[in-house]
Amino acid sequence: MNPSSLKSPLIYPEPDGAPMAESDPARDYLIYGVEALKHYFNPRSDVYISGNLWLSYEQGVPDAVVCPDVFVVFGVENRPRRSYRVWEENNRIPDWILEVTSRSTHRTDERDKPLLYAQMGVREYFQYDPSGDYLNPPLRGRRLVEAEYEILTPEELEGGMLSIPSQVLGLELRVLTDGRLRFFDSVSGEYLRSPEESEQERIQERIRAEQERIRAERERIRAERAERELEQLRNLLRERGINPDNEPT
């Protein structure tokens, strides 16, 4: 018997049911990042967006794995996956990664992951600290230049917002004055919304439309009532021998 046939098959990490994030803010921004970017890139079939998913980057090495909070890959099929294995995706690595960081993860996010992501060839790596535990300012970006990351310093906009443009996404990452992270599309001049935010906006728009319909209906009823009252007055004048259509002299 060939000894190699007795080797156990390699098992790469897949979903294990563990919580997706260690805190509510981390979970909320993980969900926002994935859902907002999915909605933005939805027309394209060659952009894959996911988060909190095992990403294996070296075939034959099960431990060569990382689990980014949010990542975007261009040039691969947009379809559901249980995990992302680079060698099964024509060696396409993520082009863009966001880590929602905190004091408990900052050593890994700040020291280990920049080295790993640069070695992998991730073109842009962003960190956002929603609770302000250690990042000041709470948004940091890195862009790959000749195999090393350059720090992207946030620009302070009018009103105190922070902004870092992403060349990879074609969007701005902004920290609003209330501390929330949002993607901004400078072409449309609008912030990217999550499906939940979009649904809330649709509900509010339906409410506004219904209020406008009711207002218009009330105006119509008032106008009809006024017209009836005017006609009654004209009839009364006619009964008294006065022609209401004559112009006064």
Over residues 44-93, the pLDDT tens digits come to 999 999 999 999 999 999 899 999 999 999 999 999 999 999 999 999 99
**What pLDDT is recorded for position 1?**
47
Distance (Å, whole) CA 98 – CA 180: 15
What is the CATH topology of the domain spanning 11-193?
tt1808, chain A (3.90.1570)
**Section 188-206 average pLDDT:** 75
**What pLDDT is recorded for position 19?**
42
**CA-closest candidate to residue 184, choices 166, 195, 172:** 172
Name, in order, each residue with C-beta under 8 angstroms of 61's C-beta and a sequence gap of 6 or more.
Answer: none
**What pLDDT is recorded for position 105?**
81
Nearest 5°: the CA angle 35, 41, 44 is: 135
Q: Which residue has the higher pLDDT, 205 or 161?
A: 161
- In the structure, what pLDDT confidence band is assigned to residue 8 with cuts at 50, 70 and 90? low
**What pLDDT is recorded for position 127?**
95
| C-beta atoms surrounding 198 within 10 Å | 14
- Of 56-60, 158-162, 207-211, 228-232, give the range with the top mean pLDDT: 56-60
Beta carbons of 141 and 126 less than 8 angstroms apart:
yes
**Mean pLDDT for all residues in the chain:** 86
Name, in order, each residue with C-beta under 8 angstroms of 223's C-beta and a sequence gap of 6 or more.
Answer: none
Q: Which residue has the higher pLDDT, 246 or 46?
A: 46
> Does 134 have pLDDT greater than 90?
no
**What pLDDT is recorded for position 144?**
97
Distance (Å, whole) CA 220 – CA 214: 10
Q: Which residue has the higher pLDDT, 53 or 21?
A: 53
The domain segmentation of the chain, as residue ranges, is 11-193, 194-241
